[in-house]
Amino acid sequence: MQIITSIRELQQIVDDKRISKKRIALVPTMGFLHDGHASLIREARAENDIVITSIFVNPTQFAPNEDFAKYPRSIEHDTKVAEEAGCDILFTPIVEEIYPDGFNTSVKVGGVTEKFDGVFRPTHFEGVATVVLKLFNAAKPHRAYFGQKDFQQTLVIKKLVRVLNWDIEIVIVPTKREASGLAMSSRNVYLSEENKTHALKLFKALKNAEEMLLKGETRRLKINSAMESVLKEIPDVKIDYAAAASSDDFDEPEIFKSGDEIILLIAARVGTTRLIDNLLVKIP
Ligand code: AMP
CB 28 within 8 A of CB 54: yes
Task: Kindly give the distance from the C-alpha atom of residue 236 to the centroid of ligand 1, in angstroms, as a whole number.
Answer: 27
Predicted confidence at residue 147, as pLDDT, reads 98
Task: Kindly give the distance from the C-alpha atom of residue 185 to the centroid of ligand 1, in angstroms, as a whole number.
Answer: 7
**Tens digits of per-residue pLDDT, 78-100?**
999 999 999 999 999 999 999 99
- Number of the ligand 1 atom closest to the C-alpha atom of 146: 10
**Ligand 1 atom 12: the closest Cα is on which residue?**
147
Task: Kindly give the distance from the C-alpha atom of residue 61 to the centroid of ligand 1, in angstroms, as a whole number.
Answer: 15
CB 154 within 8 A of CB 146: yes
Q: Which of 26, 30, 37 to mutate to test the pocket of ligand 1 (most atoms within 8 A of CB)?
A: 37
- Number of the ligand 1 atom closest to the C-alpha atom of 185: 16
Predicted confidence at residue 209, as pLDDT, reads 98
Q: In the chain, where do the E strands start and end?
A: 2-4, 24-29, 50-55, 89-91, 143-147, 169-173, 238-246, 261-270, 273-282
- Number of the ligand 1 atom closest to the C-alpha atom of 149: 12
CA distance 244 to 208: 12
**CB distance 183 to ligand 1 below 6 Å:** yes
**Ligand 1 atom 5: the closest Cα is on which residue?**
29
**Tens digits of per-residue pLDDT, 161-211?**
999 999 999 999 999 999 999 999 999 999 999 999 999 999 999 999 999
What confidence tier does 263 reach under pLDDT thresholds 50, 70, 90?
very high
**Tens digits of per-residue pLDDT, 59-75?**
999 999 999 999 999 99
Residue 165 Rama label (left phi>0; alpha psi -120 to 50; beta) = left
Angle (CA) 47 181 224, round 5°: 105
CA distance 175 to 37: 10
For the entire predicted model, the pTM comes to 0.98
Burial class (CB in 10 A: 0-12, 13-18, 19+), 196: middle
**Tens digits of per-residue pLDDT, 116-135?**
999 999 999 999 999 999 99
Task: Kindly give the distance from the C-alpha atom of residue 177 to the centroid of ligand 1, in angstroms, as a whole number.
Answer: 11
| 34 noted as active-site residue | no
CA distance 175 to 262: 16
C-alpha of 27 from chain center: 11
Q: Which of 26, 32, 34, 40 to mutate to test the pocket of ligand 1 (most atoms within 8 A of CB)?
A: 40
Strands 261-270 and 273-282, how do they pair?
A: antiparallel
Phi and psi (nearest 5°) for 24? -110, 130
**CB distance 175 to ligand 1 below 6 Å:** yes
- Number of the ligand 1 atom closest to the C-alpha atom of 184: 19
Task: Kindly give the distance from the C-alpha atom of residue 175 to the centroid of ligand 1, in angstroms, as a whole number.
Answer: 8
**CB distance 41 to ligand 1 below 6 Å:** no
CB 97 within 8 A of CB 11: no
Predicted confidence at residue 185, as pLDDT, reads 98
Q: Could you say which of 37, 77, 142, 198 is catalytic?
A: 37
Task: Kindly give the distance from the C-alpha atom of residue 37 to the centroid of ligand 1, in angstroms, as a whole number.
Answer: 5
